[in-house]
Structure 1
């Protein structure tokens, strides 16, 4: 019984390490998004950290329009990055879960 428990603990520790490695790798995965007309372009990491924002000169004349563009475009980029992040981390976590009877929620 304790051998099984020790094996499971080892597997969980290994999975935790893989999750941390995946998080670090996701800092290098870039997600690009732009407004429909291309006036705003943003780049985020898959960990949802903003790396770059490009703003068309024409938007600098209207503060409210610029704010609206930023909100819409950033939200689209964050949604994309979140999907990538959750898929990657979910795959690592699911793959690393030990087989515990009655705990098949990840399958």
Structure 2
């Protein structure tokens, strides 16, 4: 049983490392503001088109930036959930033998 629990922990660590290399994106206003993050919710880039930046006011940029960040983080949640769900199925399938299944 201990071996299976250790394998499950190792699998979770592998997923976390893999999610560090998966990029997700959030953008608003047709790409005027783009946010890139990892599936582990680390923001890695923010791009604001210069023309949009020149024509927008501070409050507009802040609101849209917040929206773009939240879109990227929502995508990160979705990707992470799919990965964890898949791993959980694999782990539970492997643990089934412990309970006589």
- Whether the TM-score (by the shorter chain) exceeds 0.5 is yes
2:30 is paired with a residue whose SS is coil
2:86 match: 91
Q: List alignment gaps of at least 5 residues for structure 1.
A: 1-7, 102-107
Structure whose alpha-carbon radius of gyration is higher: 1
Q: Does 1:45 align with 2:38?
A: yes
- TM-score normalised to structure 1 length: 0.79
Q: Pick one of 18, 24, 27 that aligns with 1:25.
A: 18
Alignment match, 1:76: 71
Q: TM-score, normalised by structure 2?
A: 0.83
Within the alignment, does 1:10 sit opposite 2:3 as a pair?
Answer: yes
Q: Which runs of 4+ in 1 moved over 3 A?
A: none
Q: Distance in 1 between matches of 2:36 and 2:87?
A: 25
1:66 and 2:61 aligned: yes
Could you tell me which runs of 5 or more consecutive residues in structure 2 were left unpaired when the two chains were aligned.
none
Residue-by-residue CA offset, 1:32-64 (whole Å, 9 max, x unaligned)? 221142110111000010000001223354110
How many residues matched?
A: 94
**Cα distance in 2, alignment partners of residues 59 and 74 from structure 1:** 17
